[in-house]
């Protein structure tokens, strides 16, 4: 039985690229259009883009996905398996940098157990006297995140991003209009992905991607090109898990007076103390309290 990687899912078909003897994938090899066996539906599971699968060829030159091999990770949205790295793209201008949404993405990434790379895009639009970008970079690097400043137009940071993606299955995420397609086109010349112009009236871009697909880079990396998100919810995350998704809270939370401390109002809360003493950024704590309230409200309604 053959083995390969699902690189695209569309209209009930799965497009599988064969593994070579060294478990690598080559851009020279064509993907096989496959249907999934009915047994998957009976078991309530579906193959995902990023899955390593066993498949067999049929007489018409197509194939059948027979077995899904064990996954190292699985995302609900976007539905991708075996992702190692989440690349969060946020533009410095057009649309303006949205730290609330960035922190919300980071909560989901932490909950998923993935590594995160923050890309601050469109540096060419930044005012040379504006210190915000460097301040944001310093804030998140101090927490422990990797941050790169990029400009697809001027080629700033593109090579560093490409080196980071080598050999990984990555997912790009962020608001619409932040330059995901432009950066991908810069990473892999010849892709010619559709890019969207920014609507100044709405302050956001139109979604330009219609399905999940792995884009193959020439350094062994794959990028999941997915629809842009304008919002995220917390339905798959328990409120008691939220604080552990703020990685700088974790060492202080262990010393809180009360077990299960919400870090909202309890006496003897070391997270609140750390925030008051400047060891936790005010913006991060404010966003935590906003997310906590949002999750509590959703729990009441659902």
Tokens linked to 93: 């201008």
Is 11 assigned to a binding site? no
Is 299 assigned to a binding site? no
Is 181 assigned to a binding site? yes
Is 42 assigned to a binding site? no
Is 238 assigned to a binding site? no
> Which is nearest to 228 in space by CA: 260, 194, 275?
194
Is 176 assigned to a binding site? yes
Q: How far apart are the first and last CA of the chain?
A: 45
Is 177 assigned to a binding site? yes
Q: Residue 249: which residues within 8 A CB-CB, separation 6 or more?
A: 243, 263, 271, 280, 288
> Which is nearest to 5 in space by CA: 15, 224, 34?
15
Q: Residue 66: which residues within 8 A CB-CB, separation 6 or more?
A: 1, 37, 53, 54, 55, 56
Is 261 assigned to a binding site? yes
Beta strand 146-149 pairing with 204-205: unpaired
Is 180 assigned to a binding site? yes
Is 263 assigned to a binding site? yes
Is 174 assigned to a binding site? yes
Is 119 assigned to a binding site? no
Cβ atoms 291, 104 nearer than 8 A = yes
Is 196 assigned to a binding site? no
Q: Which of helix, strand or coil describes residue 96?
A: coil
The DSSP H or E segment spanning 147 is strand 146-149
Is 182 assigned to a binding site? yes
Is 66 assigned to a binding site? no
Mark the binding-site residues for GTP, compressed into ranges.
121-124, 174-182
Mark the binding-site residues for Zn(2+), compressed into ranges.
256, 261, 263, 269
Mark the binding-site residues, compressed into ranges.
121-124, 174-182, 256, 261, 263, 269
């Amino acid at each position: 039985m053959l083995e390969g990687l699902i690189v695209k899912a569309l209209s009930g078909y799965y497009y599988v690229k064969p593994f070579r003897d060294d478990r690598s994938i080559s851009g020279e090899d064509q993907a096989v259009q496959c249907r999934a066996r009915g047994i998957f539906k009976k078991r309530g599971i579906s193959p995902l883009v990023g899955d390593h699968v066993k498949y067999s060829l049929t007489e018409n030159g197509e194939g059948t996905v027979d077995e899904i091999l064990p996954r190292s990770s699985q995302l609900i949205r976007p539905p991708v398996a075996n992702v190692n790295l989440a690349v969060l793209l946020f533009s410095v201008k057009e649309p303006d940098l949205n730290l609330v949404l960035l922190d919300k993405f980071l909560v989901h990434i932490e909950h998923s157990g993935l590594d995160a790379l923050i890309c601050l895009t469109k540096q060419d639009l930044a005012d040379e006297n504006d210190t915000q970008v460097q301040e944001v970079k310093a804030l998140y690097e101090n927490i422990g995140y990797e941050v790169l400043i990029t400009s697809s137009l001027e080629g700033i940071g593109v090579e560093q991003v490409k080196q980071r993606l080598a050999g990984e299955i990555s997912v790009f995420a962020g608001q619409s209009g932040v330059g995901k397609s432009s950066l991908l086109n810069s990473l892999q010349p010849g892709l010619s992905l559709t890019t969207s112009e920014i609507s100044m009236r709405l302050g956001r871009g139109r979604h330009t991607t219609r399905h999940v697909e792995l884009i193959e880079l020439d350094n062994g990396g794959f990028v999941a090109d997915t629809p842009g998100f304008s919002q995220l919810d917390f339905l798959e995350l328990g409120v008691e898990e939220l604080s552990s998704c703020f990685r700088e809270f974790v060492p202080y939370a262990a010393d809180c007076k009360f077990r299960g401390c919400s870090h909202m109002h309890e006496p003897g809360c070391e997270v609140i103390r750390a925030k008051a003493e400047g060891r936790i950024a005010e913006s991060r704590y404010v966003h935590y309290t906003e997310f906590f309230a949002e999750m509590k409200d959703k729990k009441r309604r659902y």
